[in-house]
């Protein structure tokens, strides 16, 4: 995009904010962008959640964003097979712009170590500071000379002793697994707040250390800020030059912006604090992308053969309100049912922006990709909700939650994720009034991410106006046939944009350009006679290879990703109404079913092809071999001219590439060279065969179900 477009999108988002404010309740936006080191092939940047310098780069990245904020090293997530919780680095900021922390900086922000006597003075100052606020506090005796503990209460009751409450000697939460019931601080739940101070040595130095202060689970923002004031003053008065704050995640409400950076397989994930407008959203995500780039991290990954994929961690977008009670999904209780119906009717919202892995076994399946009986029950659930005058948050969650999961019942893996809408069983973060859309690959730029957020926010604003009773569409096989092809997804997305325009919520240029750009899907194109053929990577819905119950115990799932799908489109080079019917398409001697459509650009001939691209080490169909290169013949019946297009998944001449591509231009060049076009000398007209019924559907041909085709014609490299 040009610099003019970069400036224009700011104005377009401002217009979007005005139109949403005029037609809907406040709709806050948040996102979870993910970044990888696309130049590295180390395990932590290909498949593992942690390792190498991943945590150090994440911490440095957060420090770049930490202007006027408090950096906290809190407790992260823990998955099956992991012994301890992952790390999580957070930035705690007041939305009013006032600093929440006036104490010494974290080492990542330039804080320096201190000698032991200063640490001891800090502990004494903490105890005196709590007493000065009228809080009862007590220094807890420790067996180790390298640790200090202070317990305090704010309710006027006396603090317990070690003799009366052995929980005061509990180990660090960072050194023990998260219980099945989730993160909980039983002491804090009773009004007892335990602080643990320990030194973190600097190299082999025995005299200098960074004090590490482990925080309890504070119940309210007000109490947390009051405690921070005491801690910051005590640290400054003691002369601490640096301080590491760890422990339980802090409390958050509408007055606080809380951004975290955590590890996921192959990526670093940023959970940005929600903002009130799309303009502010773009400002924040630009800062995040810049901070990531500064640490050598990227939103996409380049592959040796020129294919471009996202970072590997997706780029989810979240919507809610200023507070849980003022969430648009509660202020307009029909909004979530409307949204489910609308996404069902418009598969582009599910598939146009999706990562490579899509479908029922992906991280973001649609409700109608579950079991047959589940779809019928969802119809009934929506009908019953429609009879309720004003369903409560509890009813909304209970009625729709069972259908917004994957096939194994995992509520986190769903196209529309409502596990943080109203879920009391998710301690501390389940009742936030949030809806997360997960069917997103990581956006290549902050402008692209902001455009997607504006699209879904405009749809939400439109659907918030009044209840709808449109029936769900039972797409059947058409869902994974028609909407696997980029052409039909783009037409559906254009229909959505037109509907928003008609509702007074249209998205101004250049937002639609950012939304419709799918250049990364283009493998190559070529002029053949008076037409141009374009080959795009289409969607493929990979099946699970193995037991789903066993897969649930693992942080990853085994799928058979060996099937590829491409879309081929043919358009006339010159404008006019010349028919495309004279063109015949075949693979070997198999006739390929084609569709002739007409869109805003004129006529187009298109079809899809499925084939096996490699032999998986464990997967389906052990007797099926590799079917590349795929050779397609395009012939004009009226002139007899024919061309063979051979699509290779690797270098056509074989051999290896000289390293990973270093730019998008180099990726395009490598993809284009994989499409080899030859002019064919065919006389007389070939005898085509109809493919087996199992191989044919209304939108293309599955070569896996076809016997090996016979070759047709000899080729000459003098393509006219």
| pLDDT above 60 (res 553) | no
Per-residue pLDDT band for 6 (boundaries 50, 70, 90) equals: low
What sign does the CA torsion over 46, 49, 52, 58 have?
Answer: positive
d(CA 692, CA 701): 10
| pLDDT above 90 (res 149) | yes
Cβ-contact 317, 436 below 8 angstroms:
yes
Cβ-contact 203, 211 below 8 angstroms:
no
Which pLDDT value is given to residue 577?
A: 65
**Which of 192, 209, 115 shows the shortest CA–CA distance to 158?**
192
Q: What value does the mean pLDDT take over residues 291-307? A: 97
Q: What value does the mean pLDDT take over residues 57-73? A: 91
297 burial (CB, 10 Å; 0-12 / 13-18 / 19+) is: buried
| pLDDT above 70 (res 86) | yes
**Which of 194, 264, 254 shows the shortest CA–CA distance to 221?**
254
Q: What value does the mean pLDDT take over residues 677-682? A: 87
Which residues, including other chains, have CB under 8 Å from residue 171's CB and lie 6 or more apart?
A: none
pLDDT tens, position by position, 214-254: 999 999 999 999 999 999 999 999 999 999 999 999 999 88
pLDDT tens, position by position, 153-165: 999 999 999 999 9
**Which of 315, 317, 132 shows the shortest CA–CA distance to 226?**
132
The vertex-535 CA angle with 534 and 536, nearest 5°, equals: 120
Per-residue pLDDT band for 719 (boundaries 50, 70, 90) equals: very low
Per-residue pLDDT band for 720 (boundaries 50, 70, 90) equals: very low
Task: Give me the phi and psi of 660, to 5 degrees please.
Answer: -70, 150
Among 415-419, 538-542, 711-715, the range scoring the smallest mean pLDDT is 711-715
Task: Give me the phi and psi of 592, to 5 degrees please.
Answer: -100, 125
Strand, coil or helix: 498: helix
The continuous run of DSSP H or E covering 514 comes out as: helix 511-516
Q: What value does the mean pLDDT take over residues 84-105? A: 94
pLDDT above 90 covers a percentage of the chain that reads 80
Average pLDDT, the chain: 92
| pLDDT above 50 (res 718) | no
Strand, coil or helix: 474: coil
Per-residue pLDDT band for 3 (boundaries 50, 70, 90) equals: low
Which pLDDT value is given to residue 549?
A: 46
Query: With the CA atoms of 79, 250, 135 and 164 taken in that order, what torsion angle do they form, in degrees rounded to the nearest 10?
Result: 0
d(CA 237, CA 118): 10
Q: What value does the mean pLDDT take over residues 135-149? A: 90
Structure-token pair, residue 108: 């990542």
Per-residue pLDDT band for 411 (boundaries 50, 70, 90) equals: confident
What b/e readout covers 466-490, taking b as 16+ CB neighbours within 10 angstroms?
Answer: eeeeeebeebeebbbbbbbbbbbbb
Q: CB 327: neighbour CB atoms within 10 A?
A: 27
Which pLDDT value is given to residue 114?
A: 93
d(CA 26, CA 277): 9
Q: What value does the mean pLDDT take over residues 77-84? A: 87
Domain boundaries, the chain: 3-31+299-515, 114-249, 519-716
| pLDDT above 60 (res 461) | yes
Q: HSE, CB side, 13 Å, CA atoms: give it for residue 557.
A: 24
Among 109-123, 174-188, 544-558, 621-635, the range scoring the smallest mean pLDDT is 544-558
| Residue 183 Cα distances to 79, 111, 294, angstroms | 13, 29, 33
d(CA 113, CA 210): 5
pLDDT tens, position by position, 603-629: 999 999 999 999 998 899 999 999 999
Cβ-contact 424, 394 below 8 angstroms:
no
**Which of 74, 67, 72, 65 shows the shortest CA–CA distance to 106?**
72
Which pLDDT value is given to residue 544?
A: 83
Q: Across the beta sheet with 28-32, what order do the strands follow? A: 28-32, 316-320, 435-437, 416-417
| pLDDT above 60 (res 1) | no
| pLDDT above 80 (res 56) | yes
Q: What value does the mean pLDDT take over residues 310-321? A: 96
pLDDT tens, position by position, 178-212: 988 788 899 999 999 999 999 988 776 868 889 99
| Residue 268 Cα distances to 200, 299, 414, 657, angstroms | 25, 10, 21, 28
d(CA 17, CA 21): 6
Strands of 558-629, DSSP E = 563-572, 583-587, 590-591, 595-599, 602-612
Which pLDDT value is given to residue 424?
A: 84
Q: What value does the mean pLDDT take over residues 633-638? A: 90
Structure-token pair, residue 375: 């779809």
Q: What value does the mean pLDDT take over residues 519-523? A: 97
Cβ-contact 497, 506 below 8 angstroms:
yes
């Amino acid at each position: 995009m040009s610099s003019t477009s970069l400036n224009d999108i700011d104005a377009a988002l401002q217009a979007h904010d005005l139109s949403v404010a005029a037609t809907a309740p406040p709709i806050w936006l948040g996102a979870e962008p993910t970044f990888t080191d696309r130049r590295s092939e180390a395990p932590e940047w290909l498949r593992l959640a942690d390792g190498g310098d991943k945590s150090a780069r994440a911490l440095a990245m957060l420090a770049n964003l930490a202007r006027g904020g408090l950096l906290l090293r809190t407790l992260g997530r823990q998955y099956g097979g992991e012994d301890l919780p992952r790390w999580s680095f957070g930035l705690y900021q007041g939305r009013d712009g006032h600093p929440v922390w006036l104490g010494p900086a974290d080492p990542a922000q330039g804080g320096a170590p201190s000698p032991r006597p200063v640490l001891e003075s800090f502990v004494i100052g903490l105890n005196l500071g709590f007493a000065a606020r009228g809080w009862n506090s007590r220094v807890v005796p420790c067996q180790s000379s390298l640790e200090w503990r202070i317990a305090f209460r704010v309710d006027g009751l006396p603090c317990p002793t070690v003799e009366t409450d052995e929980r005061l000697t509990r180990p660090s939460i960072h050194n023990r697994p998260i219980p099945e019931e989730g993160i909980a601080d039983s002491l804090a739940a009773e009004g007892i707040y335990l602080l643990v101070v320990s030194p973190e040595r600097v190299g082999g130095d025995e005299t200098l250390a960074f004090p590490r202060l482990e925080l309890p689970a504070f119940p309210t923002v007000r109490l947390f800020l009051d405690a921070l004031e005491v801690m910051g003053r005590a640290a400054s008065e003691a002369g601490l030059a640096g301080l590491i704050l760890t422990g339980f995640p802090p409390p958050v409400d509408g007055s606080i912006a809380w951004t975290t950076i955590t590890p996921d397989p192959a990526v670093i994930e940023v959970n940005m604090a929600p903002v009130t407008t799309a303009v502010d959203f773009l400002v924040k995500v630009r800062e995040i992308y810049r901070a990531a780039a500064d640490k050598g991290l990227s939103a996409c990954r380049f592959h040796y053969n020129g294919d471009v994929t996202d970072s590997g961690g997706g780029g989810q977008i979240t919507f809610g309100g200023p507070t849980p009670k003022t969430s648009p999904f509660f202020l307009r209780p029909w909004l979530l049912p409307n949204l489910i119906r609308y996404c069902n009717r418009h598969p582009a919202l599910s598939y146009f922006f999706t990562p490579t892995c899509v479908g029922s076994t992906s991280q973001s399946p649609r409700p109608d990709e579950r079991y047959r009986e589940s779809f019928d029950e969802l119809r009934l659930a929506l009908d019953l909700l429609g009879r309720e005058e004003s369903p409560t948050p509890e009813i909304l969650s209970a009625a729709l939650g069972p259908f917004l999961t994957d096939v194994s019942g995992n509520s986190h893996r769903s196209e529309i994720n409502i596990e943080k809408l109203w879920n009391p069983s998710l301690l501390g973060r389940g009742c936030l009034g949030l809806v997360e859309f997960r069917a997103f690959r990581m956006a290549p730029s902050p402008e692209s991410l902001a455009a997607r957020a504006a699209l879904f926010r405009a749809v939400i604003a439109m659907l918030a106006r009044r209840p709808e009773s449109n029936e769900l569409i039972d797409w059947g096989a058409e869902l994974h046939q028609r909407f696997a092809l980029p052409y039909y997804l783009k037409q559906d997305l254009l229909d959505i944009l037109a509907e928003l325009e008609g509702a007074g919520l249209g998205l101004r240029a250049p937002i639609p350009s950012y939304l419709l750009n799918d250049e990364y899907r283009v493998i190559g194109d070529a002029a053949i006679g008076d037409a141009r053929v374009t080959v795009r990577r289409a969607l493929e819905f990979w099946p699970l290879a193995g037991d789903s119950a066993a897969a649930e115990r693992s942080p990853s799932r085994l799928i058979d990703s060996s099937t590829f799908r491409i879309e081929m489109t043919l358009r006339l080079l010159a404008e006019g109404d010349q028919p495309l019917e004279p063109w015949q398409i075949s693979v070997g001697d198999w006739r390929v079913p084609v569709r002739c459509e007409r869109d805003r650009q004129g006529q187009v001939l298109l079809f899809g092809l499925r084939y096996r691209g490699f032999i998986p080490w464990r997967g389906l169909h052990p007797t099926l071999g590799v079917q590349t290169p795929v050779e397609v013949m395009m012939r004009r019946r009226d002139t007899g001219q024919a061309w063979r297009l051979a699509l290779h998944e690797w270098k056509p001449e074989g051999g290896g590439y000289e390293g990973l591509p270093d730019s998008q231009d180099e990726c395009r060049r490598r993809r284009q060279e994989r499409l080899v076009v030859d002019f064919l000398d065919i006389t007389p007209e070939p005898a085509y065969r109809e493919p087996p019924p199992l191989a044919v559907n209304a939108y293309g041909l599955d070569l896996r179900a076809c016997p090996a085709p016979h070759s047709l014609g000899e080729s000459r490299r003098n393509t006219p």
